[in-house]
């Protein structure tokens, strides 16, 4: 079965532990729901934060969802001038036979401007 990437992003108002976890959990649940993903389907998940978010590891939100056997990794995004601040991004690598054009990427809150081509993609 091929591995597919599912992308997502969400903004966070404040650099606070529970807010990072809450917003990350909201995004992760939306990604899973929109694509019918089960934890056993996930090969790995990569979480990244903009440099202004450092109060918590966003991967803890996945552990709270019971993803104890999924390899998770956190990283910091590049600090590009004039880029959107206070953003959590997730890349799920999922074992799936769903064609790439049918993947439902999730850009929540203010983040649809990051990838309008993916954020407004109609469901098929």
Residues recognised as catalytic: 7, 63, 74, 77, 89, 107, 115
| Residue in the block written with tokens 């990794």 | 73
Report the distance separating Cα 98 and Cα 102, nearest Å: 6
CA distances from 62 to 14, 21, 74 (A): 20, 9, 12
Which tokens hold the place of 24?
């990350």
Nearest-CA neighbor of 12 among 29, 30, 24? 24
Beta carbons of 92 and 5 less than 8 angstroms apart: yes
Q: How many CB atoms lie within 10 A of CB 44?
A: 13
């Amino acid at each position: 079965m091929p591995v597919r990437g599912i992308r997502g992003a969400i903004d966070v108002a404040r650099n606070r532990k529970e807010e990072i976890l809450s917003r990350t959990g909201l995004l992760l649940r939306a990604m899973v729901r929109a694509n019918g993903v089960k934890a056993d389907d996930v090969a790995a998940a990569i979480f990244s934060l903009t440099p202004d978010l450092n109060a918590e590891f966003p991967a803890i939100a996945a552990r709270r969802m019971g993803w104890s056997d999924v390899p998770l990794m956190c990283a910091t995004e590049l600090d590009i001038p004039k880029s959107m601040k206070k953003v959590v991004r997730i890349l799920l690598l999922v074992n799936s036979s769903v064609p790439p054009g049918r993947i439902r990427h999730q850009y929540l809150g203010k983040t649809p401007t990051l990838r309008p081509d993916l954020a407004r993609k109609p469901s098929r």
